[in-house]
Chains A and B, each alone.
Chain A
Amino acid sequence: MTATTAPLIADNLTKTFRRKLRRREKVAGKSRRVSALSAVSLELRPGEIYGLLGPNGSGKSTLVRIVSTLLLPDEGCAAVFGRDVVREAIHVRRLVNRVSVEAAFFKKLSAAENLLYTARLYGMDAREAMPKARTFLGSIGFPMDRLHDSMEDLSRGQQQKVAIVRGLFTSPVLLLLDEPTTGLDPQSKREVDAFIRAVVEQHDATVLLTTHDMEEADRLCHRIGIMSDGKLVAEGTPAELKARVQTEEKPAPTLEDVFLALTGKSLADADKKEDE
Protein backbone atom coordinates (compact mmCIF):
# COMPACT_ATOMS: atom_id res chain seq x y z
CA MET A 1 0.00 0.00 0.00
CA THR A 2 1.54 3.24 -1.11
CA ALA A 3 -0.91 6.02 -0.38
CA THR A 4 -3.93 6.29 1.88
CA THR A 5 -5.59 8.91 -0.35
CA ALA A 6 -5.91 6.55 -3.31
CA PRO A 7 -9.59 5.79 -3.94
CA LEU A 8 -8.72 2.12 -4.31
CA ILE A 9 -5.60 0.06 -3.84
CA ALA A 10 -5.77 -3.67 -4.49
CA ASP A 11 -2.66 -5.57 -3.56
CA ASN A 12 -2.13 -9.15 -4.68
CA LEU A 13 -5.84 -10.00 -4.44
CA THR A 14 -6.48 -13.71 -4.86
CA LYS A 15 -9.78 -15.56 -4.75
CA THR A 16 -10.73 -19.13 -5.56
CA PHE A 17 -14.13 -20.79 -5.43
CA ARG A 18 -15.10 -24.40 -5.05
CA ARG A 19 -17.53 -25.85 -7.52
CA LYS A 20 -19.42 -29.10 -7.80
CA LEU A 21 -17.90 -31.50 -10.28
CA ARG A 22 -19.86 -33.69 -12.65
CA ARG A 23 -18.97 -37.36 -12.62
CA ARG A 24 -17.15 -37.06 -15.94
CA GLU A 25 -15.05 -34.24 -14.54
CA LYS A 26 -14.25 -36.23 -11.40
CA VAL A 27 -13.05 -39.13 -13.50
CA ALA A 28 -10.92 -36.77 -15.56
CA GLY A 29 -9.33 -35.57 -12.31
CA LYS A 30 -10.50 -31.97 -12.67
CA SER A 31 -9.95 -29.68 -9.70
CA ARG A 32 -12.89 -28.47 -7.64
CA ARG A 33 -11.14 -25.14 -7.18
CA VAL A 34 -11.70 -22.40 -9.72
CA SER A 35 -9.38 -19.44 -9.64
CA ALA A 36 -11.44 -16.25 -9.94
CA LEU A 37 -8.70 -13.76 -9.10
CA SER A 38 -5.00 -14.44 -9.23
CA ALA A 39 -2.71 -11.92 -7.50
CA VAL A 40 -4.39 -8.82 -8.91
CA SER A 41 -2.86 -5.48 -7.95
CA LEU A 42 -4.06 -2.09 -9.10
CA GLU A 43 -4.38 1.47 -7.89
CA LEU A 44 -7.03 4.00 -8.85
CA ARG A 45 -6.30 7.72 -8.98
CA PRO A 46 -8.70 10.31 -7.58
CA GLY A 47 -11.31 11.49 -10.05
CA GLU A 48 -10.56 8.97 -12.78
CA ILE A 49 -12.75 6.49 -14.57
CA TYR A 50 -10.87 3.21 -14.53
CA GLY A 51 -12.21 0.55 -16.85
CA LEU A 52 -11.80 -3.18 -16.31
CA LEU A 53 -12.14 -5.02 -19.59
CA GLY A 54 -12.51 -8.74 -19.81
CA PRO A 55 -14.78 -11.59 -20.81
CA ASN A 56 -17.32 -13.31 -18.54
CA GLY A 57 -15.54 -15.16 -15.77
CA SER A 58 -12.34 -13.13 -16.03
CA GLY A 59 -12.66 -11.95 -12.41
CA LYS A 60 -14.04 -8.42 -12.88
CA SER A 61 -17.16 -8.91 -10.79
CA THR A 62 -15.23 -10.84 -8.15
CA LEU A 63 -12.92 -7.85 -7.76
CA VAL A 64 -15.91 -5.49 -7.53
CA ARG A 65 -17.57 -7.73 -4.94
CA ILE A 66 -14.45 -7.77 -2.78
CA VAL A 67 -14.25 -3.97 -2.90
CA SER A 68 -17.99 -3.80 -2.10
CA THR A 69 -17.31 -5.86 1.08
CA LEU A 70 -19.52 -8.67 -0.23
CA LEU A 71 -16.72 -11.19 -0.64
CA LEU A 72 -13.62 -11.97 1.40
CA PRO A 73 -10.33 -12.44 -0.48
CA ASP A 74 -8.28 -15.59 0.13
CA GLU A 75 -5.04 -13.63 -0.06
CA GLY A 76 -3.97 -10.05 -0.52
CA CYS A 77 -5.83 -6.95 0.55
CA ALA A 78 -7.73 -3.97 -0.77
CA ALA A 79 -8.30 -0.54 0.70
CA VAL A 80 -10.66 2.29 -0.17
CA PHE A 81 -9.17 5.65 0.80
CA GLY A 82 -6.91 3.77 3.20
CA ARG A 83 -9.72 1.75 4.79
CA ASP A 84 -9.28 -2.01 4.60
CA VAL A 85 -12.29 -3.64 2.94
CA VAL A 86 -12.26 -6.59 5.36
CA ARG A 87 -11.31 -5.08 8.70
CA GLU A 88 -13.03 -1.71 8.22
CA ALA A 89 -15.96 -2.84 6.11
CA ILE A 90 -18.52 -0.51 7.72
CA HIS A 91 -16.33 2.55 6.91
CA VAL A 92 -15.76 1.34 3.35
CA ARG A 93 -19.51 0.95 2.84
CA ARG A 94 -19.95 4.67 3.57
CA LEU A 95 -17.49 5.47 0.77
CA VAL A 96 -18.60 3.13 -2.00
CA ASN A 97 -21.72 2.16 -3.86
CA ARG A 98 -22.25 -0.27 -6.66
CA VAL A 99 -24.42 -0.61 -9.74
CA SER A 100 -24.46 -4.11 -11.16
CA VAL A 101 -25.74 -5.64 -14.35
CA GLU A 102 -28.72 -7.05 -12.44
CA ALA A 103 -30.98 -4.19 -11.39
CA ALA A 104 -32.17 -5.90 -8.20
CA PHE A 105 -35.11 -4.17 -6.51
CA PHE A 106 -38.16 -4.91 -4.46
CA LYS A 107 -40.21 -5.42 -7.59
CA LYS A 108 -43.64 -4.72 -6.10
CA LEU A 109 -42.44 -1.37 -4.77
CA SER A 110 -42.19 1.71 -6.95
CA ALA A 111 -38.98 3.42 -8.01
CA ALA A 112 -39.71 6.17 -5.47
CA GLU A 113 -40.27 3.65 -2.65
CA ASN A 114 -37.09 1.75 -3.52
CA LEU A 115 -35.08 4.97 -3.56
CA LEU A 116 -36.64 6.14 -0.30
CA TYR A 117 -35.64 2.82 1.27
CA THR A 118 -32.05 3.30 0.07
CA ALA A 119 -31.98 6.89 1.32
CA ARG A 120 -33.03 5.86 4.83
CA LEU A 121 -30.67 2.90 4.75
CA TYR A 122 -27.79 5.29 4.12
CA GLY A 123 -28.96 7.56 6.95
CA MET A 124 -30.11 10.31 4.59
CA ASP A 125 -32.94 12.70 5.36
CA ALA A 126 -35.75 11.69 3.00
CA ARG A 127 -36.76 15.37 2.51
CA GLU A 128 -33.31 16.11 1.08
CA ALA A 129 -32.68 12.77 -0.62
CA MET A 130 -35.81 12.48 -2.71
CA PRO A 131 -35.50 15.82 -4.55
CA LYS A 132 -31.89 14.85 -5.30
CA ALA A 133 -33.03 11.47 -6.61
CA ARG A 134 -35.62 13.19 -8.83
CA THR A 135 -32.98 15.53 -10.26
CA PHE A 136 -30.68 12.59 -11.02
CA LEU A 137 -33.50 10.58 -12.59
CA GLY A 138 -34.42 13.54 -14.76
CA SER A 139 -30.87 14.06 -15.96
CA ILE A 140 -30.51 10.39 -16.91
CA GLY A 141 -33.68 10.43 -19.01
CA PHE A 142 -36.01 8.52 -16.70
CA PRO A 143 -39.69 9.30 -17.44
CA MET A 144 -40.84 10.98 -14.23
CA ASP A 145 -44.47 9.98 -14.74
CA ARG A 146 -43.34 6.37 -14.04
CA LEU A 147 -41.77 7.23 -10.67
CA HIS A 148 -44.62 5.72 -8.68
CA ASP A 149 -45.11 2.63 -10.86
CA SER A 150 -44.02 -0.77 -9.57
CA MET A 151 -40.51 -1.69 -10.62
CA GLU A 152 -41.87 -4.82 -12.28
CA ASP A 153 -43.87 -2.60 -14.67
CA LEU A 154 -40.80 -0.67 -15.82
CA SER A 155 -38.67 -1.61 -18.81
CA ARG A 156 -35.19 -3.09 -18.31
CA GLY A 157 -33.65 0.24 -19.34
CA GLN A 158 -35.83 2.21 -16.90
CA GLN A 159 -34.98 -0.21 -14.09
CA GLN A 160 -31.29 0.14 -14.84
CA LYS A 161 -31.58 3.93 -14.72
CA VAL A 162 -33.16 3.73 -11.29
CA ALA A 163 -30.33 1.36 -10.27
CA ILE A 164 -27.75 3.89 -11.45
CA VAL A 165 -29.43 6.69 -9.49
CA ARG A 166 -29.66 4.42 -6.44
CA GLY A 167 -25.91 3.92 -6.70
CA LEU A 168 -25.17 7.61 -7.08
CA PHE A 169 -27.53 9.64 -4.95
CA THR A 170 -25.98 8.32 -1.75
CA SER A 171 -22.89 10.38 -2.77
CA PRO A 172 -20.27 7.62 -2.91
CA VAL A 173 -16.71 8.78 -3.47
CA LEU A 174 -15.88 5.49 -5.16
CA LEU A 175 -18.52 4.22 -7.54
CA LEU A 176 -18.36 0.61 -8.70
CA LEU A 177 -20.16 0.17 -12.00
CA ASP A 178 -20.36 -3.51 -12.89
CA GLU A 179 -21.50 -3.61 -16.51
CA PRO A 180 -24.14 -0.91 -15.92
CA THR A 181 -25.10 -0.48 -19.56
CA THR A 182 -25.46 -4.14 -20.53
CA GLY A 183 -28.82 -4.61 -22.22
CA LEU A 184 -29.52 -0.91 -22.68
CA ASP A 185 -30.47 0.59 -26.03
CA PRO A 186 -27.93 2.92 -27.71
CA GLN A 187 -29.81 6.08 -26.64
CA SER A 188 -29.93 4.96 -22.99
CA LYS A 189 -26.27 3.97 -23.17
CA ARG A 190 -25.34 7.47 -24.31
CA GLU A 191 -27.42 9.04 -21.51
CA VAL A 192 -25.79 6.81 -18.91
CA ASP A 193 -22.30 7.53 -20.29
CA ALA A 194 -22.95 11.29 -20.14
CA PHE A 195 -24.30 10.93 -16.62
CA ILE A 196 -21.23 9.00 -15.43
CA ARG A 197 -18.95 11.68 -16.89
CA ALA A 198 -20.99 14.42 -15.19
CA VAL A 199 -20.86 12.62 -11.85
CA VAL A 200 -17.09 12.34 -11.99
CA GLU A 201 -16.70 16.00 -12.93
CA GLN A 202 -19.31 17.53 -10.63
CA HIS A 203 -19.31 15.23 -7.62
CA ASP A 204 -15.59 14.53 -7.29
CA ALA A 205 -16.13 10.77 -7.50
CA THR A 206 -13.86 8.02 -8.80
CA VAL A 207 -15.33 5.25 -10.93
CA LEU A 208 -14.33 1.64 -11.38
CA LEU A 209 -16.21 0.48 -14.47
CA THR A 210 -16.31 -3.11 -15.66
CA THR A 211 -17.54 -3.64 -19.17
CA HIS A 212 -17.52 -5.83 -22.25
CA ASP A 213 -18.14 -2.85 -24.44
CA MET A 214 -14.81 -1.85 -25.96
CA GLU A 215 -16.19 1.35 -27.48
CA GLU A 216 -17.73 2.42 -24.20
CA ALA A 217 -14.43 1.78 -22.41
CA ASP A 218 -12.55 3.75 -25.06
CA ARG A 219 -14.99 6.68 -24.82
CA LEU A 220 -15.30 6.87 -21.05
CA CYS A 221 -12.19 5.58 -19.34
CA HIS A 222 -9.08 7.50 -18.45
CA ARG A 223 -7.24 4.23 -17.87
CA ILE A 224 -8.06 0.63 -18.64
CA GLY A 225 -7.02 -2.66 -17.09
CA ILE A 226 -7.40 -5.82 -19.15
CA MET A 227 -8.33 -8.97 -17.29
CA SER A 228 -8.13 -12.52 -18.47
CA ASP A 229 -8.44 -15.74 -16.46
CA GLY A 230 -8.39 -13.85 -13.15
CA LYS A 231 -5.23 -11.92 -13.97
CA LEU A 232 -4.66 -8.29 -14.79
CA VAL A 233 -2.63 -8.72 -17.97
CA ALA A 234 -2.19 -5.08 -18.97
CA GLU A 235 -2.96 -1.57 -17.78
CA GLY A 236 -2.71 1.92 -19.23
CA THR A 237 -4.58 4.72 -20.95
CA PRO A 238 -6.48 3.65 -24.07
CA ALA A 239 -3.82 5.38 -26.15
CA GLU A 240 -0.97 3.65 -24.32
CA LEU A 241 -2.57 0.23 -24.71
CA LYS A 242 -3.18 0.79 -28.39
CA ALA A 243 0.40 1.97 -28.86
CA ARG A 244 1.64 -1.31 -27.40
CA VAL A 245 0.09 -3.34 -30.19
CA GLN A 246 0.50 -0.84 -33.01
CA THR A 247 2.16 -2.34 -36.07
CA GLU A 248 2.75 -1.26 -39.61
CA GLU A 249 -0.08 -3.55 -40.72
CA LYS A 250 -2.39 -2.09 -38.07
CA PRO A 251 -1.44 1.53 -37.55
CA ALA A 252 -4.69 2.42 -35.70
CA PRO A 253 -5.59 -0.57 -33.54
CA THR A 254 -8.82 -0.75 -31.55
CA LEU A 255 -9.19 -1.98 -27.98
CA GLU A 256 -10.48 -5.25 -29.47
CA ASP A 257 -7.09 -5.59 -31.21
CA VAL A 258 -5.37 -4.81 -27.92
CA PHE A 259 -7.36 -7.51 -26.17
CA LEU A 260 -6.61 -10.04 -28.89
CA ALA A 261 -2.88 -9.26 -28.88
CA LEU A 262 -2.50 -9.35 -25.10
CA THR A 263 -4.64 -12.37 -24.29
CA GLY A 264 -4.41 -14.35 -27.49
CA LYS A 265 -8.22 -14.42 -27.86
CA SER A 266 -10.98 -12.09 -28.92
CA LEU A 267 -13.42 -10.86 -26.29
CA ALA A 268 -16.35 -12.49 -28.07
CA ASP A 269 -14.58 -15.88 -28.28
CA ALA A 270 -13.48 -15.66 -24.66
CA ASP A 271 -17.08 -14.91 -23.62
CA LYS A 272 -18.35 -17.85 -25.64
CA LYS A 273 -15.79 -20.19 -24.08
CA GLU A 274 -16.66 -19.05 -20.56
CA ASP A 275 -20.40 -19.41 -21.20
CA GLU A 276 -19.84 -23.01 -22.35
Chain B
Amino acid sequence: MRATIETARVAARPIHAFVGRSFSLTLRYWGWEVTWMFYSIAMVLAIGFLAVGVGQVSGQTVPTDKVLVYLLTGSLLWQYLAQLFWETSNVMSFERWEGTIEYTFMAPVSRVTYLLGMSAFSTLYSAVRLLLLVGVCLLVFHLRLTNANLWSAALILGISSFSLMGLGLMAASLPLIYTERGTQMTSVIEATLLMISGVYYPISVLPKWLQFFSQFSPMTYTLHGMRKAMLEGATVPQLWGDILPLTITAIVLVPLGLRVFAWTEAYCKRHGKLKRSG
Protein backbone atom coordinates (compact mmCIF):
# COMPACT_ATOMS: atom_id res chain seq x y z
CA MET B 1 0.00 0.00 0.00
CA ARG B 2 2.79 2.39 0.99
CA ALA B 3 4.62 1.54 -2.26
CA THR B 4 1.49 2.32 -4.26
CA ILE B 5 1.11 5.69 -2.55
CA GLU B 6 4.77 6.50 -3.21
CA THR B 7 4.40 5.52 -6.90
CA ALA B 8 1.35 7.78 -7.17
CA ARG B 9 3.24 10.62 -5.50
CA VAL B 10 6.14 10.30 -7.94
CA ALA B 11 3.73 10.14 -10.88
CA ALA B 12 1.92 13.25 -9.64
CA ARG B 13 5.12 15.33 -9.37
CA PRO B 14 5.19 16.41 -13.03
CA ILE B 15 1.54 17.53 -12.79
CA HIS B 16 2.52 19.41 -9.62
CA ALA B 17 5.40 20.92 -11.64
CA PHE B 18 3.07 22.33 -14.30
CA VAL B 19 0.42 23.57 -11.88
CA GLY B 20 3.05 25.07 -9.53
CA ARG B 21 4.93 26.75 -12.37
CA SER B 22 1.77 28.28 -13.82
CA PHE B 23 0.65 29.43 -10.38
CA SER B 24 4.03 31.11 -9.72
CA LEU B 25 3.89 32.80 -13.13
CA THR B 26 0.36 34.04 -12.41
CA LEU B 27 1.63 35.63 -9.19
CA ARG B 28 4.61 37.20 -10.98
CA TYR B 29 2.40 38.70 -13.68
CA TRP B 30 -0.01 40.06 -11.04
CA GLY B 31 -0.32 43.44 -12.75
CA TRP B 32 -1.52 41.74 -15.89
CA GLU B 33 -3.91 39.57 -13.87
CA VAL B 34 -5.45 42.63 -12.17
CA THR B 35 -5.86 44.38 -15.53
CA TRP B 36 -7.39 41.32 -17.13
CA MET B 37 -9.77 40.79 -14.22
CA PHE B 38 -10.86 44.43 -14.40
CA TYR B 39 -11.49 44.03 -18.14
CA SER B 40 -13.55 40.87 -17.58
CA ILE B 41 -15.63 42.49 -14.83
CA ALA B 42 -16.31 45.50 -17.06
CA MET B 43 -17.35 43.23 -19.94
CA VAL B 44 -19.72 41.17 -17.80
CA LEU B 45 -21.23 44.22 -16.12
CA ALA B 46 -21.74 45.91 -19.51
CA ILE B 47 -23.76 42.90 -20.67
CA GLY B 48 -25.72 43.02 -17.41
CA PHE B 49 -26.55 46.73 -17.86
CA LEU B 50 -27.56 45.99 -21.43
CA ALA B 51 -30.10 43.50 -20.07
CA VAL B 52 -31.41 46.05 -17.58
CA GLY B 53 -31.76 48.67 -20.33
CA VAL B 54 -33.50 46.50 -22.92
CA GLY B 55 -36.94 47.56 -21.66
CA GLN B 56 -36.10 51.27 -21.96
CA VAL B 57 -34.61 50.87 -25.42
CA SER B 58 -37.54 48.86 -26.81
CA GLY B 59 -40.20 50.92 -25.00
CA GLN B 60 -41.96 47.69 -24.08
CA THR B 61 -42.43 45.73 -20.90
CA VAL B 62 -39.63 43.22 -20.67
CA PRO B 63 -39.09 40.58 -17.97
CA THR B 64 -35.85 42.24 -16.89
CA ASP B 65 -34.86 39.61 -14.33
CA LYS B 66 -35.21 36.85 -16.90
CA VAL B 67 -33.27 38.76 -19.56
CA LEU B 68 -30.62 39.63 -16.97
CA VAL B 69 -30.09 36.01 -15.90
CA TYR B 70 -30.21 34.89 -19.55
CA LEU B 71 -27.53 37.32 -20.68
CA LEU B 72 -25.38 37.07 -17.55
CA THR B 73 -25.39 33.28 -17.76
CA GLY B 74 -24.10 33.59 -21.31
CA SER B 75 -21.57 36.25 -20.44
CA LEU B 76 -20.21 34.52 -17.32
CA LEU B 77 -20.06 31.16 -19.01
CA TRP B 78 -18.31 32.68 -21.97
CA GLN B 79 -15.74 34.26 -19.65
CA TYR B 80 -15.12 30.86 -18.05
CA LEU B 81 -15.08 28.71 -21.17
CA ALA B 82 -13.16 31.20 -23.30
CA GLN B 83 -10.59 31.54 -20.53
CA LEU B 84 -10.26 27.77 -20.22
CA PHE B 85 -9.90 27.43 -24.00
CA TRP B 86 -7.42 30.31 -24.16
CA GLU B 87 -5.27 29.04 -21.30
CA THR B 88 -5.15 25.50 -22.69
CA SER B 89 -4.57 26.46 -26.30
CA ASN B 90 -1.91 29.08 -25.59
CA VAL B 91 0.36 27.01 -23.37
CA MET B 92 2.55 26.42 -26.41
CA SER B 93 2.68 30.11 -27.32
CA PHE B 94 3.90 30.92 -23.84
CA GLU B 95 6.57 28.21 -23.90
CA ARG B 96 7.69 29.46 -27.31
CA TRP B 97 7.79 33.02 -26.05
CA GLU B 98 9.96 32.05 -23.09
CA GLY B 99 12.05 29.67 -25.21
CA THR B 100 11.50 26.79 -22.78
CA ILE B 101 9.61 24.50 -25.13
CA GLU B 102 12.59 22.28 -25.93
CA TYR B 103 13.41 21.81 -22.23
CA THR B 104 9.85 20.90 -21.40
CA PHE B 105 9.61 18.52 -24.33
CA MET B 106 12.81 16.67 -23.53
CA ALA B 107 11.77 15.95 -19.94
CA PRO B 108 10.80 12.33 -19.24
CA VAL B 109 7.10 13.17 -19.03
CA SER B 110 4.41 11.79 -21.31
CA ARG B 111 2.48 14.36 -23.31
CA VAL B 112 -0.73 13.17 -21.64
CA THR B 113 0.74 14.13 -18.24
CA TYR B 114 1.99 17.43 -19.62
CA LEU B 115 -1.31 18.40 -21.19
CA LEU B 116 -3.33 17.17 -18.21
CA GLY B 117 -1.14 19.25 -15.90
CA MET B 118 -1.63 22.35 -18.01
CA SER B 119 -5.37 21.70 -18.39
CA ALA B 120 -5.70 21.18 -14.62
CA PHE B 121 -4.24 24.63 -13.99
CA SER B 122 -6.38 26.20 -16.73
CA THR B 123 -9.52 24.74 -15.15
CA LEU B 124 -8.60 25.88 -11.62
CA TYR B 125 -7.62 29.34 -12.81
CA SER B 126 -10.77 29.81 -14.90
CA ALA B 127 -12.98 28.52 -12.06
CA VAL B 128 -11.51 31.01 -9.58
CA ARG B 129 -12.05 33.86 -12.02
CA LEU B 130 -15.62 32.70 -12.62
CA LEU B 131 -16.36 32.68 -8.89
CA LEU B 132 -15.05 36.24 -8.58
CA LEU B 133 -17.15 37.40 -11.52
CA VAL B 134 -20.27 35.71 -10.15
CA GLY B 135 -19.64 37.42 -6.81
CA VAL B 136 -19.41 40.84 -8.48
CA CYS B 137 -22.61 40.24 -10.48
CA LEU B 138 -24.51 39.14 -7.36
CA LEU B 139 -23.41 42.32 -5.62
CA VAL B 140 -24.18 44.73 -8.47
CA PHE B 141 -27.41 43.27 -9.83
CA HIS B 142 -28.86 41.76 -6.62
CA LEU B 143 -29.66 38.63 -8.60
CA ARG B 144 -32.40 36.38 -7.27
CA LEU B 145 -31.68 32.81 -8.27
CA THR B 146 -34.71 31.34 -6.55
CA ASN B 147 -35.52 29.06 -9.48
CA ALA B 148 -31.95 28.02 -10.17
CA ASN B 149 -30.82 24.42 -9.77
CA LEU B 150 -27.17 24.97 -8.92
CA TRP B 151 -26.29 21.26 -8.81
CA SER B 152 -27.47 20.79 -12.38
CA ALA B 153 -25.59 23.93 -13.40
CA ALA B 154 -22.39 22.66 -11.76
CA LEU B 155 -22.72 19.31 -13.52
CA ILE B 156 -23.14 21.00 -16.91
CA LEU B 157 -20.13 23.20 -16.20
CA GLY B 158 -18.00 20.23 -15.15
CA ILE B 159 -18.74 18.13 -18.22
CA SER B 160 -18.33 21.03 -20.63
CA SER B 161 -14.92 21.82 -19.12
CA PHE B 162 -13.67 18.51 -20.54
CA SER B 163 -15.14 19.23 -23.99
CA LEU B 164 -13.47 22.64 -24.06
CA MET B 165 -10.22 21.10 -22.86
CA GLY B 166 -10.34 18.73 -25.85
CA LEU B 167 -10.89 21.64 -28.23
CA GLY B 168 -8.15 23.59 -26.47
CA LEU B 169 -5.70 20.70 -26.86
CA MET B 170 -6.39 20.61 -30.59
CA ALA B 171 -5.99 24.37 -30.84
CA ALA B 172 -2.73 24.15 -28.85
CA SER B 173 -1.24 22.44 -31.92
CA LEU B 174 -1.56 25.65 -33.94
CA PRO B 175 1.08 27.72 -32.07
CA LEU B 176 3.29 24.64 -32.24
CA ILE B 177 3.26 24.61 -36.05
CA TYR B 178 2.78 28.30 -36.78
CA THR B 179 5.24 30.17 -34.61
CA GLU B 180 3.92 33.66 -35.25
CA ARG B 181 0.34 33.14 -36.42
CA GLY B 182 -0.70 30.30 -34.12
CA THR B 183 -2.10 32.51 -31.38
CA GLN B 184 -4.21 34.53 -33.79
CA MET B 185 -5.54 31.30 -35.25
CA THR B 186 -6.79 30.18 -31.84
CA SER B 187 -8.55 33.55 -31.56
CA VAL B 188 -10.42 32.77 -34.78
CA ILE B 189 -11.67 29.48 -33.30
CA GLU B 190 -12.73 31.32 -30.15
CA ALA B 191 -14.62 33.99 -32.09
CA THR B 192 -16.38 31.34 -34.16
CA LEU B 193 -17.50 29.54 -30.99
CA LEU B 194 -18.81 32.84 -29.64
CA MET B 195 -20.84 33.45 -32.78
CA ILE B 196 -22.40 30.01 -33.30
CA SER B 197 -22.96 28.80 -29.72
CA GLY B 198 -25.66 31.22 -28.61
CA VAL B 199 -23.71 33.05 -25.92
CA TYR B 200 -25.90 36.18 -26.02
CA TYR B 201 -28.88 35.01 -28.09
CA PRO B 202 -30.81 31.84 -28.90
CA ILE B 203 -29.23 30.00 -31.81
CA SER B 204 -32.64 30.11 -33.54
CA VAL B 205 -31.87 33.72 -34.54
CA LEU B 206 -28.91 32.54 -36.62
CA PRO B 207 -29.29 31.89 -40.35
CA LYS B 208 -30.06 28.22 -41.05
CA TRP B 209 -26.60 27.51 -42.44
CA LEU B 210 -24.95 28.84 -39.27
CA GLN B 211 -27.37 26.86 -37.09
CA PHE B 212 -26.05 23.75 -38.82
CA PHE B 213 -22.60 24.47 -37.36
CA SER B 214 -24.02 25.32 -33.92
CA GLN B 215 -24.87 21.70 -33.28
CA PHE B 216 -21.16 20.79 -33.43
CA SER B 217 -20.12 23.29 -30.76
CA PRO B 218 -20.14 21.83 -27.23
CA MET B 219 -20.79 25.35 -25.93
CA THR B 220 -24.22 25.31 -27.57
CA TYR B 221 -25.29 22.51 -25.22
CA THR B 222 -23.48 24.07 -22.25
CA LEU B 223 -25.33 27.36 -22.65
CA HIS B 224 -28.68 25.72 -23.36
CA GLY B 225 -28.39 23.39 -20.37
CA MET B 226 -27.04 26.06 -18.07
CA ARG B 227 -29.89 28.46 -18.88
CA LYS B 228 -32.48 25.76 -18.26
CA ALA B 229 -30.83 25.02 -14.91
CA MET B 230 -30.54 28.69 -13.91
CA LEU B 231 -33.87 30.01 -15.21
CA GLU B 232 -36.17 27.02 -14.93
CA GLY B 233 -34.44 24.97 -12.24
CA ALA B 234 -34.13 21.98 -14.57
CA THR B 235 -33.03 18.75 -12.88
CA VAL B 236 -30.36 16.40 -14.20
CA PRO B 237 -32.85 14.05 -15.94
CA GLN B 238 -34.47 17.08 -17.59
CA LEU B 239 -31.09 18.16 -18.92
CA TRP B 240 -30.28 14.81 -20.47
CA GLY B 241 -30.64 16.28 -23.97
CA ASP B 242 -27.66 18.57 -23.21
CA ILE B 243 -25.68 16.27 -20.94
CA LEU B 244 -25.54 13.44 -23.49
CA PRO B 245 -24.01 15.45 -26.36
CA LEU B 246 -21.64 17.17 -23.92
CA THR B 247 -20.49 13.80 -22.56
CA ILE B 248 -20.03 12.42 -26.07
CA THR B 249 -18.03 15.45 -27.20
CA ALA B 250 -15.87 15.22 -24.04
CA ILE B 251 -15.21 11.51 -24.64
CA VAL B 252 -14.36 12.18 -28.29
CA LEU B 253 -12.56 15.52 -28.06
CA VAL B 254 -10.08 14.88 -25.20
CA PRO B 255 -8.44 11.78 -26.79
CA LEU B 256 -8.73 13.40 -30.22
CA GLY B 257 -7.04 16.54 -28.88
CA LEU B 258 -4.21 14.45 -27.43
CA ARG B 259 -3.87 12.56 -30.73
CA VAL B 260 -3.81 15.74 -32.81
CA PHE B 261 -1.20 17.19 -30.47
CA ALA B 262 0.95 14.05 -30.83
CA TRP B 263 0.71 14.24 -34.64
CA THR B 264 1.66 17.89 -34.56
CA GLU B 265 4.61 17.26 -32.27
CA ALA B 266 5.89 14.53 -34.61
CA TYR B 267 5.51 16.91 -37.58
CA CYS B 268 7.45 19.63 -35.74
CA LYS B 269 10.20 17.19 -34.82
CA ARG B 270 10.48 16.09 -38.45
CA HIS B 271 10.75 19.66 -39.72
CA GLY B 272 12.73 21.22 -36.87
CA LYS B 273 9.95 23.54 -35.75
CA LEU B 274 10.42 23.19 -31.99
CA LYS B 275 13.26 25.68 -32.02
CA ARG B 276 12.35 29.17 -30.81
CA SER B 277 13.17 30.67 -34.19
CA GLY B 278 11.05 28.02 -35.88
List chain A positions with a Cβ less than 8 A from chain B. Answer: 17-18, 62, 65, 68-72, 90-91, 93-94, 96-98, 100, 102, 104-109, 113, 116-125, 150, 166
Chain B count of residues within 8 A CB distance of the other chain: 31
Q: Is the CB of B108 within 8 A of A71?
A: no
Q: Does B191 count as interface, using CB distance less than 8 angstroms?
A: no
Q: Is the CB of B100 within 8 A of A104?
A: yes
Q: Is the CB of A117 within 8 A of B271?
A: no
Q: Does B229 count as interface, using CB distance less than 8 angstroms?
A: no
Given contacts A105-B98, A108-B29, contact A90 B108 (CB under 8 A): yes
- Complex Cα–Cα for A94 and B99 (A): 21
Q: Is the CB of A106 within 8 A of B98?
A: yes
Q: Is the CB of A17 within 8 A of B14?
A: no
Stretch at the interface among B18-26, B51-59, B211-219: B18-26
Given contacts A17-B271, A108-B29, contact A121 B98 (CB under 8 A): no
Q: Which residue of A lies closest to B100 (CB)?
A: A104
B residues in contact with A122, CB < 8 Å: 107-108
Query: Chain B's interface: helix, strand, loop or mixed, by majority?
Result: helix
CB B258 to nearest CB in A, in angstroms, measures: 15
Q: Is the CB of A117 within 8 A of B106?
A: no
- Complex Cα–Cα for A68 and B105 (A): 9
B residues in contact with A90, CB < 8 Å: 108, 110
Q: Which residue of B lies closest to A163 (CB)?
A: B103
B residues in contact with A102, CB < 8 Å: 99, 276
- Complex Cα–Cα for A18 and B29 (A): 38
B263-278: which have CB < 8 Å to A?
266, 269-272, 274, 276
Compute the total of residue contacts between A and B using a CB distance below 8 Å. 91
- Complex Cα–Cα for A248 and B270 (A): 48
Q: Which residue of B lies closest to A62 (CB)?
A: B272
Q: Which residue of A lies closest to B99 (CB)?
A: A104
Q: Is the CB of A18 within 8 A of B271?
A: yes
A residues in contact with B108, CB < 8 Å: 90-91, 93-94, 122-123
Q: Is the CB of B17 within 8 A of A117?
A: yes
CB A8 to nearest CB in B, in angstroms, measures: 15
Given contacts A71-B269, A71-B272, contact A109 B21 (CB under 8 A): yes
Task: Name 17 extra pairs, CB < 8 A, besides A70-B105, A120-B16.
Answer: A70-B102, A72-B266, A72-B269, A90-B108, A93-B108, A98-B106, A105-B99, A108-B25, A113-B24, A121-B13, A121-B14, A121-B107, A121-B109, A122-B107, A123-B13, A123-B14, A166-B103
Q: Is the CB of B98 within 8 A of A70?
A: no
Q: Is the CB of B13 within 8 A of A109?
A: no
CB A239 to nearest CB in B, in angstroms, measures: 34
A-contact bits for B16-45, CB 8 A (1 contact / 0 none):
110011001100110000000000000000
CB B95 to nearest CB in A, in angstroms, measures: 9
Q: Is the CB of A120 within 8 A of B25?
A: no
- Complex Cα–Cα for A193 and B42 (A): 56
Q: Is the CB of B13 within 8 A of A124?
A: yes
Q: Which residue of A lies closest to B270 (CB)?
A: A72
Q: Is the CB of A117 within 8 A of B266?
A: no
Given contacts A72-B266, A123-B108, contact A109 B25 (CB under 8 A): yes
Q: Is the CB of B17 within 8 A of A104?
A: no
Q: Is the CB of B276 within 8 A of A123?
A: no
Q: Is the CB of B98 within 8 A of A117?
A: no
Q: Does B104 count as interface, using CB distance less than 8 angstroms?
A: yes
- Complex Cα–Cα for A65 and B16 (A): 27
CB B7 to nearest CB in A, in angstroms, measures: 10
